[in-house]
Chains A and B, each alone.
Chain A
């Protein structure tokens, strides 16, 4: 992989606050950002576009976040996924990790913590 090319991150959330915020922050951090607002678009973009990381909201219209991850994995798409969720529930965390997510962040989140975790996925 070309080290110089910016990493592509897919941000999937139905809340425009989150997408605007993350898009701004990630772009400022030097990443290229794609946005999806519902489950189906997220699934499609993850399949068709070459993304390096996905940050997705677990509750979106259309497919559930966890279902999207399951589908990707069953089709051989191994892109790392960070799950964001407003549901404060241990079961959700465990289910997310079981299904193949690499990280789980509860909403509301600390922006610089999220950015740190993103950075961590791309060690120089």
Chain B
């Protein structure tokens, strides 16, 4: 084949492909649009229907079982479900369950092909199914598809299916970070029931595996169950991995129990600046006035983050505010700046300006405002 024949073929191919693309663009668009419009109309209809079903629960509604296969129906259902919480949405579940829809979804989920369909089925079950479908979802906590695993966990959490807690927590070490973070969120729905399974997991695993244990510790912070404080203090004492220590410090701060004060104070003298910085924030949150000396010393720590967190921490105590005002006169520029920032964040600057306007400023107010207005010299 010589050059020119090749050229002719190439030109032909290119224009045929272009023609195909062009026609599919035009035709495809029209079809897609019509489908969209129909979908939107059906969805609006279902929204109205479901809304009426919610407000007048004994309403006789004429809904065939096939309608539940309609994606528009599922969209409307999920939208209502996500806007409304509480007893009404359980009624929604029973209402929909009347049509045998959920069995259909469970069947689809168990299938092997068509990831999208399986995913949609998982979403439907997660959002609306009652707890008779919990075993199905439990089976799929270990599904091939990460998004399906996430939906399974979500559904089990919504159903408050307690046997799922251990299963979810156990997966912390094997899951990828994205799925694990979504699992962390689902555990929050279980509330304090998740506390002890998490602690058990941490106790067993913290020596061998860090990311999952650290995630478990942070989940305890989000759960806010103060029962976790004592075991965490213990774990903080035993742990050797720094990520675990950091997570424990942070969590103890969030849980805000003065009992943690001593362990946190000890961390404040650690070698690693990250531990000190986290401890500074945690000490402030714990709310124990014994923290003040430690935090004040933090203002002149060698590490910048420690200084900053210490300043922010001080601003939470009235006595700390006083010390911050004093720090404005400090010889260390960073201490001054950190103190000024913390005071501004605590609203002291506005208060000071107001008092100046009203004619009743304190010396500290004047000092603060003068410092802020002074020429900015960025330290080299």
Contact = CB atoms under 8 A, between A and B. Distances in A.
A2 interface: no
Interface string A16-57: 111011011100110000000000000000000000000000
Contacts of B79: 15, 17
Interface string A92-124: 000000000000000111111100000000000
Given A16-B47, A111-B88, A112-B88, A25 B83 contact: no
Contact of A110 (B55, B80, B84): B84
Nearest to B53: A24
Nearest to B88: A111
B126 to A, nearest CB: 15
Interface string B43-66: 010011001101110000000000
B85 interface: yes
A78 to B, nearest CB: 28
Contacts of B82: 108
Residue of B84, B85, B87 contacting most chain A CB atoms (<10 Å): B84
Contacts of A15: 79, 83
Interface of A is mostly: helix
B48 A20 contact: yes
B47 A111 contact: no
A107 B80 CA distance: 12
Given A20-B51, A112-B88, A28 B56 contact: yes
A111 B84 contact: yes
Contacts of B56: 28
B128 to A, nearest CB: 14
Given A24-B52, A25-B54, A111-B54, A17 B86 contact: no
Contact of B83 (A17, A23, A28, A29): A17
Nearest to A26: B55
Nearest to B48: A20
B15 to A, nearest CB: 43
A108 B85 CA distance: 6
B84 A109 contact: yes
A47 B202 CA distance: 58
A23 B76 CA distance: 16
Interface string B240-264: 0000000000000000000000000
A26 B55 CA distance: 9
Contacts of A17: 47, 76, 79-80, 83
A91 to B, nearest CB: 13
B80 A24 contact: no
B85 A24 contact: no
Contacts of B76: 17
Residue of B54, B55, B76, B86 contacting most chain A CB atoms (<10 Å): B55
A25 B85 contact: no
Contacts of A29: 55
B84 A108 contact: yes
Nearest to B54: A111
A16 B44 contact: yes
A56 to B, nearest CB: 15
Contacts of A28: 52, 55-56
A48 B325 CA distance: 52
Residue of A15, A16, A23 contacting most chain B CB atoms (<10 Å): A16
Contacts of A18: 83
B51 A21 contact: yes
Contacts of B87: 110, 112
A111 B91 CA distance: 12
8 contacts: A20-B44, A21-B83, A29-B55, A108-B84, A110-B86, A111-B84, A112-B87, A113-B86
Interface of A: 15-18, 20-21, 23-25, 28-29, 107-113
Given A16-B44, A110-B85, 14 more contacts: A15-B83, A16-B47, A17-B79, A17-B80, A20-B51, A21-B51, A24-B48, A24-B54, A28-B56, A108-B83, A110-B86, A111-B55, A112-B87, A113-B86
